[in-house]
Amino acid sequence: MPDPMRIRATIQDSQATVRVLMSHEMETGQRKDSAGNVVPAHFIQSVVASHNGRQVFRAEWGPAVSKNPYLQFQFGGAKAGDKVQITWVDNKGETRTDEVVLR
């Protein structure tokens, strides 16, 4: 199971700011190891965030997103105590979902 995300979600005037740090190699498939073999691509392709069950943000990523990806976005109509759920899926079908309470 992949390592958990670190999510910080703050709220100001019903506007939520979500900062996410994911734990992922984001291997491009362009790199060679010390033996000269190509390291196969392994990267997050999809990120979806939902707020109380409604999708508020979505991203499609290529391998150019940095290792241990960082992401920040903002959405409205939120209040303290609401839950934000974030899910990523990578090109090998591995996935991770984490949830945070807005404060």
Partner 1 sequence: MRPAGVSRRTVLEALGSLAAVAAMPRHAFGQTAGAAAAGIQWNAAAFNAQTVDEALKALGAGTPAPTTEVSWGSTPQIAENGAVVPISVSSKIPGTDAIAIFIEKNPNKLAANFYFPEGTAPALSTRVKMSESSLVHALVKTKDNKYFLATREIKVTLGGCGG
Residues 2, 11, 25, 45: which binds partner 1 (CB under 8 A)? 45
Cβ atoms 43, 91 nearer than 8 A: yes
5 touches partner 1 (CB under 8 A) = no
97 touches partner 1 (CB under 8 A) = no
Residues 38, 79, 80, 94: which binds partner 1 (CB under 8 A)? 94
For the segment 70-89, give every residue that binds partner 1 (CB under 8 A): 70-77, 89
11 touches partner 1 (CB under 8 A) = no
CA 6 to chain centroid? 9
69 touches partner 1 (CB under 8 A) = yes
Cβ of residue 9: shortest distance to partner 1, in angstroms?
13
10 touches partner 1 (CB under 8 A) = no
Could you give phi then psi for residue 11, rounded to 5 degrees?
-130, 140
Could you give phi then psi for residue 6, rounded to 5 degrees?
-105, 120
Which has the closest alpha carbon to 103: 15, 10, 18? 10
How big is the CA angle at 54 (ends 51 and 56), to the nearest 5 degrees? 65
Residues 28, 83, 85, 98: which binds partner 1 (CB under 8 A)? 28
